[in-house]
Amino acid sequence: GNQLADKQVHSVCPYCGVGCQLTYHVKDNSILFVEGRNGPANHNRLCVKGRYGFDYVTHRQRLTKPLIRRSDAPKHIEMDMDYNNPLRDFREASWEEALEFATKGLKKIHKKQGPNGLAGFGSAKGSNEEAYLFQKLIRTAFNTNNVDHCTRLCHASSVAALLQMIGSGAVSNPVADVADAEVIVLIGSNPTSNHPVAATFFKNAARDGKTLIVMDPRKTDIARYADHVLQFNPDTDVAMLNAIMHAIIQLDLVDHNFIEQRTEGYTTLKKHLQDYTPERMAPICGIPAETLYEVARIYASAKGSMIFWGMGVSQHIHGTDNARCLINLALITGQIGRPGCGLHPLRGQNNVQGASDVGLIPMVYPDYQRVDNAEIRKKFEALWQTTLDPNPGLTVVEIMHAIHDGNIQGMYIMGENPAMSDPNLNHARTALASLKHLVVQDIFMTETAHYADVILPASAFPEKTGTFTNTDRRVQMGRQAIDSPGEARQDLDILLAMAKGLGLQWNYTGPRDVFNEMRQVMPSIAGITWERLEAESAVTYPCSHEGDSGESVIFQEQFPRAGGKAALIPAAFSHADELPDDDYPYILITGRQLEHWHTGAMTRRASVLNSLEPEAVAMVHPDLLEQIGLHAGESIRIRSRRGEVVTGTRSDRGLNPGQIFLPFCYYEAAANMLTNDALDPDGKIPEFKFCAIKIEQA
Ligand code: SF4
């Protein structure tokens, strides 16, 4: 209980984008337990990850000393069970030696290959200040824009569509606005597992009589609370959503005033939608025409309808088109620009919104200011006192290709785990292994660190202070509760030491200095002071001046595009890159599960979470299990054209018999061995949610 702890530290949860506030109860530099705090996103609630997933910080595999690869240790592509023992391939080194080794190797490649021989991945697990400094380091010390992070694998397509059509990539309304909505549409999202506390808001809203419409190829727990469940065929979002818009136009339920005053491109969109009749689209998407008409009527005629979406929408080669349809839908019905309506792409990682906002993206500086705009570039050159590369850099998967092509030979990876999170892992891992110089900064011997030349032991979430921006655009303060083990150092300190070794003259004394610089270059947070965050713990942006309360609902007057109007952009139905055929007859859908987080680096080392879900398991429809002569629990081998895994099974009637769902957190059955690295042309996001597979008894 409380009386045992000698201090309480208020912070935020390190896992998902909901951004629950919590309190660490600490005694003698160790966390005794975690409690929910009354933050605006969680109202004291926490899910199992936030409440019990904290003891990874003291796991025996924490890296506590810098490591340098032994000269006699080759980089094995194959991952073996011994990879958690770093001393097999690495030797311990002093910080001085490791930093010198790390920066020397990068400088050598810079000299030989030029700036574009290098690249960096930052992380959405880190703070805004860490992400800001990381992108600044890559752009000013490497002189390249080859800097990206897991937003590329998450909502890059949603953001591409939002920026293009309404001029801003963030959500229009916060989750808690469901209290003011009449209708809530959830599409391609499994919030009970992936945004569990946000799911409680949806469930409560449904209980209070709001209409909940769930659209997803996989029927998950949230469907039990829904008034309408549209279990559409995977990959047919555009067909279904265009049909719903066709019905809205046919029933004359569009908002003519809103279209007239606040949008452009309606005539073209209307013409485009003529062919997408519900009757014609019904057999494609698998939803009866009358259901499409009914959902159209409910969504369009409600006083306020909100749309929430997840990776089911974004992780396709037509993810940007999927998102365009959702945006069109909200715009033609005027369901945006007031409380209780709007568009909300549910952000995955706890700081994926913030890391993107501060410029951890190859084509934009902080606040989405384009690197290829000369005026903007000049502004950053003056501020950072350097010359900057005018060309947008490469994205995550493009960087892997560039390594294979021999163009990129050195990388600095901070907190990211592409050897698990990238699609087509054989390809990604061969790339990582073939780098001439790889610097990895992390808290564990991750699958990616396995390919490093030097590993810098970093700090876990509760070991440092910084700001984090949740899915609602709320900047929140994460506070240090405990010290790091051994010689592990705070990430910001490591970044400063790396910058020094690479010849940069930086003199930040801590996260507060970095935050103050961010405020200068980011109009969206100009009004947020460090002191205010310390006092209030959370402030929503846009916040233009001190004293501004922050806008939780945006686009009330106009859209941040030239002319102030939103653009309606038609999207045509197209198929996935790799459709099932006789050789690979089933569809693989990848994703997450409640107890584990992304690549599992933290949650699989959190004792409670790992005891709840200790083993890789694929979800399979019982009919399909029977067809291949298996009982649930027995093992299957899943093969795609790119790789294979062996995993346990669990029966899941929420899937159609032709589909299998596999979480991507298990290194021993890494789902991304199977996935397809084909990219969406606009968002450059890979098609994690659809590839062709075959299965057999293992
Ligand atoms: Fe953490 Fe998300 Fe769970 Fe909240 S809902 S406790 S932020 S994982």
DSSP 541-583: SP--STT----SS--SS--SSTTSPEEP--------SS---SS
Considering only CA atoms, which of 8, 6, 11 is closest in space to residue 28? 6
Residue 352 has pLDDT above 80, yes or no: yes
Within the chain, what is the greatest distance between any pair of CA atoms? 72
Tell me, in angstroms, the distance from the centre of ligand 1 to residue 151's CA: 18
Ligand 1, atom 3, residue with closest C-alpha: 47
- Residues 429 and 426: their CA atoms lie apart, in Å, by 5
Counting atoms of ligand 1 from 1, which one is nearest the CA of 36? 6
Counting atoms of ligand 1 from 1, which one is nearest the CA of 18? 7
Joined together, the tokens standing for residue 250 give 């046919």
Q: Are 351 and 469 in contact (CB under 8 A)?
A: yes
Considering only CA atoms, which of 627, 476, 448, 472 is closest in space to residue 539? 476
Q: Which DSSP symbol is given to 419?
A: H
pLDDT per position as a tens digit, 57-67: 999 999 999 99
pLDDT per position as a tens digit, 581-597: 999 999 999 999 999 99
- pLDDT for the residue numbered 455: 98
In this structure, are strands 183-187 and 211-215 parallel, antiparallel, or unpaired?
parallel
Burial of 80 (0-12, 13-18, 19+ CB in 10 A): exposed
- pLDDT for the residue numbered 82: 63
- pLDDT for the residue numbered 81: 61
Neighbouring-strand partners of residue 153: none
- pLDDT for the residue numbered 337: 98
Tell me, in angstroms, the distance from the centre of ligand 1 to residue 493's CA: 27
Counting atoms of ligand 1 from 1, which one is nearest the CA of 14? 1
Neighbouring-strand partners of residue 120: 147, 412
Burial of 122 (0-12, 13-18, 19+ CB in 10 A): buried
* 469 Cβ contact partners less than 8 Å away, ≥ 6 residues apart: 19, 128, 351, 353, 354, 357, 475, 476, 541
Q: Which residue has the tokens 């808290």?
A: 443
Helix then strand then coil, % of the chain, to nearest 5: 40, 20, 45
Burial of 63 (0-12, 13-18, 19+ CB in 10 A): buried
Estimate to the nearest angstrom the gap between the alpha carbon of 152 and the chain centroid: 7
Tell me, in angstroms, the distance from the centre of ligand 1 to residue 349's CA: 10
pLDDT per position as a tens digit, 239-271: 999 999 999 999 999 999 999 999 999 999 999
Residue 565 has pLDDT above 90, yes or no: yes
Among 11, 12, 13, the mutation site with the greatest number of ligand 1 atoms within 8 A of its Cβ is 13
Tell me, in angstroms, the distance from the centre of ligand 1 to residue 674's CA: 28
Over range 3-10, report the average pLDDT: 90
Tell me, in angstroms, the distance from the centre of ligand 1 to residue 48's CA: 8
pLDDT per position as a tens digit, 274-290: 999 999 999 999 999 99
Counting atoms of ligand 1 from 1, which one is nearest the CA of 47? 3
Residue at 274: amino acid letter: Q
- pLDDT for the residue numbered 638: 98
- Return the ∠ at Cα 211 (arms to 689 and 179), rounded to 5°: 100
Tell me, in angstroms, the distance from the centre of ligand 1 to residue 315's CA: 22
Counting atoms of ligand 1 from 1, which one is nearest the CA of 19? 7
Counting atoms of ligand 1 from 1, which one is nearest the CA of 15? 8
* 134 Cβ contact partners less than 8 Å away, ≥ 6 residues apart: 120, 122, 126, 147, 360, 414, 495
- Return the ∠ at Cα 64 (arms to 59 and 68), rounded to 5°: 125
Tell me, in angstroms, the distance from the centre of ligand 1 to residue 478's CA: 14
Counting atoms of ligand 1 from 1, which one is nearest the CA of 46? 6
The string of DSSP letters for 180-245 reads: G-SEEEEES--HHHHSHHHHHHHHHHHHTT-EEEEE-SS--GGGGG-SEEE-PPTT-HHHHHHHHH
Among 35, 37, 46, 51, the mutation site with the greatest number of ligand 1 atoms within 8 A of its Cβ is 46
Counting atoms of ligand 1 from 1, which one is nearest the CA of 16? 2
Residue 1 has pLDDT above 70, yes or no: no
Residue 43 has pLDDT above 70, yes or no: yes
Among 11, 12, 15, the mutation site with the greatest number of ligand 1 atoms within 8 A of its Cβ is 15
- pLDDT for the residue numbered 193: 97
- pLDDT for the residue numbered 574: 97
Tell me, in angstroms, the distance from the centre of ligand 1 to residue 51's CA: 8
- Residues 439 and 498: their CA atoms lie apart, in Å, by 10
**φ/ψ of residue 284, rounded to 5:** -75, -50
Tell me, in angstroms, the distance from the centre of ligand 1 to residue 469's CA: 13
- Residues 692 and 155: their CA atoms lie apart, in Å, by 23
Ligand 1, atom 1, residue with closest C-alpha: 50
- Residues 560 and 188: their CA atoms lie apart, in Å, by 27
Which H helix or E strand runs over 501?
A: helix 491-501
pLDDT per position as a tens digit, 303-331: 999 999 999 999 999 999 999 999 999 99
- Return the ∠ at Cα 154 (arms to 566 and 653), rounded to 5°: 110
- pLDDT for the residue numbered 77: 85
- Residues 549 and 528: their CA atoms lie apart, in Å, by 9
Tell me, in angstroms, the distance from the centre of ligand 1 to residue 380's CA: 35
Ligand 1, CB within 6 Å, residue ranges = 13, 15-16, 18-20, 42, 46-47, 49-50, 195-197
Tell me, in angstroms, the distance from the centre of ligand 1 to residue 4's CA: 25
- pLDDT for the residue numbered 3: 63
Among 47, 194, 597, the mutation site with the greatest number of ligand 1 atoms within 8 A of its Cβ is 47
Tell me, in angstroms, the distance from the centre of ligand 1 to residue 253's CA: 38
Q: Are 238 and 318 in contact (CB under 8 A)?
A: yes
Ligand 1, atom 2, residue with closest C-alpha: 16
- pLDDT for the residue numbered 639: 98
Counting atoms of ligand 1 from 1, which one is nearest the CA of 51? 6
- pLDDT for the residue numbered 515: 98
- Residues 403 and 407: their CA atoms lie apart, in Å, by 6
Tell me, in angstroms, the distance from the centre of ligand 1 to residue 683's CA: 27
Predicted TM-score of the model (pTM): 0.97
Residue 2 has pLDDT above 70, yes or no: no
- Kindly list the strands in the beta sheet with 228-230, ordered across the sheet, starting from the edge strand earlier in the chain: 228-230, 211-215, 183-187, 305-309, 342-345
Give start and end residues of each alpha helix (H) in 394-490: 396-404, 418-421, 425-434
Over range 519-545, report the average pLDDT: 97
- Kindly list the strands in the beta sheet with 7-12, ordered across the sheet, starting from the edge strand earlier in the chain: 7-12, 21-27, 30-36
Counting atoms of ligand 1 from 1, which one is nearest the CA of 12? 7
Over range 194-219, report the average pLDDT: 98
- pLDDT for the residue numbered 415: 97
Q: How confident is the model at residue 76 (pLDDT cuts 50, 70, 90)?
A: confident
Bond prior to 542 in cis (omega within 30° of 0): yes
Tell me, in angstroms, the distance from the centre of ligand 1 to residue 240's CA: 31
Residue 56 has pLDDT above 90, yes or no: yes
Joined together, the tokens standing for residue 611 give 């005891």
